[in-house]
Amino acid sequence: MDLDAVLLQILNGLDKGSAYALIALGLTLIFGTLGVVNFAHGALFMVGAFCAVTLQKVLTLSTITIDETKTDFLGNPLKVKTPYVENWFGEATGATIIDWAVPLSILLAIPVMLIIGIVMERGLIKHFYKRPHADQILVTFGLAIVIGEIVKASFGATEQPVPAPQSLSRVTDVGAMLGLEGINVSYPSWRLVNMAFAAVVIIAIFSFLRFTTFGMVVRAGMADRETVGLLGINIDRRFTIMFAIAALVAGLAGVMYVPIKPPSYELGMQFLVISFVVVVVGGMGSLPGAVAAGFLLGLLEAFASTELAKGILPGIDQIIIYVVAIIILLTRPRGLMGRKGVMEE
């Protein structure tokens, strides 16, 4: 394998890993703070993705005018669709807005995901704090089905592609970008943006927990909920907010992943299994563990899908993640960075 190929696979790994890391980060926030195992987290990722789909559909709502001078291929007068936004903001600006639908939908996703998170926590999850983990898994599993079906009823069962903005749909010469001589790797620009975005979100979450009073209380609560409760701090309200933030992180990851993988209602379930594996490998309740394991497993998956790896062990790309998860769970039950005692016994 030459250097170019290695770099390409590293990029592939970081690309997959950034999605895994963001979902796992949210799962861990929920698990670490609320002690709840959320099987609906993949569904939140999917809802985020459909925020982008919705915005694109709204932006492309059009007036239909009939142009008598032209005809379509059947010989009827041509119907011209003009999106309202082009009517309102002028053709060029309107087209640009539509083109940037995916990044713009972040603005939509923020309030939507926060509201969904708060409603979900107050309405359902709250009542399951004291129930066994199996019940939490089951009820959120049911919720995941319900969310998936609602999306299916609204958008249909097919995949809903939304492209990245034109200017980001091309490829970037990574060697030139990094200023490295002799590297000849081109990579889709949007995927690079997605990685950078994931990095920003991860850094934001960590700084938030590290440097704000709110974050300190939450971290203390993660370590020892009872004591923090005894200090007279209303930890419950903070935990509601943490749940909303976790939902937001999943949703934003979903938005950014739309141009890479067109979402369908099944997207949530597809990502859920993997992200739980990531959480367990990283160590239940460990935020750095979740992020590290996300990227690690992404990289492993990327390198396992090279012809070289597949030549040595056919099918390794399909099972590498599970094999790693099983080995880690058996040899290091706490995961890579988990604390002792979390979910043991």
Partner 1 sequence: MLGLNRNDTLLLIFVAIITLAAPILMNPFPTESSLAQFNAGYPDLMQRFVIFGIFAIGYNILFGLTGYLSFGHAAFLGAGSYACVWMFKLFGYNVLPGIVLSVIVAGIFSVAIGYISLRRSGIYFSILTLAFAQMSFALAYSVLGQDMWGLKGGLTNGETGLQVYSNDPQIFHSEAAPNLPHLFGVPMRETWIWEYGAWQFQFNAGFYLCAIIMLVVFYLSMRIFRSPFGLMLRAVKTNQNRLNYTGVNTKPYTLAAFVISGMYAGLAGGLLSAMDPLAGAERMQWTASGEVVLMTILGGAGTLIGPVLGAGMIKYFENIFSKINKGILEGWFSFLPESVADPIVSVLYLFTGSGWHLTLGLVFMLVVIFLPGGLVGGLIGAGRRLFRRGGGKAAKNTQPTPTSQAAE
What residue ranges bind partner 1 (CB under 8 A)? 37, 124, 127, 132-135, 137-139, 141-146, 148-150, 152-153, 157, 269, 273, 276-277, 280, 284, 314-315, 318-319, 322-323, 325-326, 329-330, 333, 343, 345
Residues 108 and 54: beta-carbon distance below 8 Å: yes
The answer to whether 159 touches 50, Cβ cutoff 8 Å, is no
CB of 68 to partner 1, least distance (A): 35
Closer residue to partner 1 in complex, CB, 276/295? 276
Retrieve residue 195's tokens. Answer: 């990685």
DSSP single-letter state for residue 339: P
- Cβ at position 47, least distance to partner 1 in Å: 15
Beta carbon of residue 343, minimum distance to partner 1 (angstroms, whole number)? 6
Q: Is 258 helix (H, G, I), strand (E, B) or coil?
A: coil
- Is the dihedral angle over the CA atoms 139, 144, 147, 153 positive or is it negative? negative
Please, which residue, 65 or 318, has the CB nearer to partner 1? 318
Going by the DSSP 8-state scheme, the letter that residue 36 receives in this structure is: -
Amino acid residing at 2: D
Residue among 157 and 196 whose Cβ is closer to partner 1: 157
Instruction: Specify the residue, 112 or 320, whose C-beta has the smaller distance to partner 1.
Output: 320
Shortest Å, Cβ 199 to partner 1: 27
Q: Of 81 and 131, which CB lies nearer to partner 1 in the complex structure?
A: 131
The residues, ordered by sequence, that sit 6+ positions from 309 with a Cβ below 8 Å of its Cβ are: 303, 316, 317
| Whether the Cβ atoms of residue 112 and residue 14 lie closer than 8 Å to each other | no
CA atoms of 12 and 17, how far apart (whole Å): 8
321 in Cβ contact with 20 (< 8 Å): no
Q: Which is nearer to partner 1, 114 or 124 (CB)?
A: 124
Instruction: For the CB of residue 110, give the shortest distance to partner 1 in the complex, in Å.
Output: 27
| Rounded distance between C-alpha atoms, residue 70 and residue 267, angstroms | 42
> How far is Cα 11 from Cα 3, in angstroms, rounded to an integer?
12
Pick 52 or 277: Cβ nearer partner 1: 277
Rounded least distance, CB 267 to partner 1, Å: 14
Which ranges of the chain does DSSP label H, i.e. alpha helix?
3-34, 41-59, 84-89, 91-99, 101-123, 133-155, 174-178, 189-211, 213-223, 225-230, 235-257, 267-282, 287-304, 307-312, 316-331
Residue 229 C-beta: closest distance to partner 1, Å: 23
In the complex, least distance from residue 133 CB atom to partner 1, rounded to whole angstroms: 5
Q: Which is nearer to partner 1, 233 or 326 (CB)?
A: 326
- Least Cβ distance, residue 39 to partner 1 (angstroms): 9
Strand 186-188 with 77-83, pairing: unpaired
CA–CA distance, 220 with 233 (Å, rounded to integer): 11
Give whichever of 297 and 299 is closer to partner 1, judged by the CB atom. 297
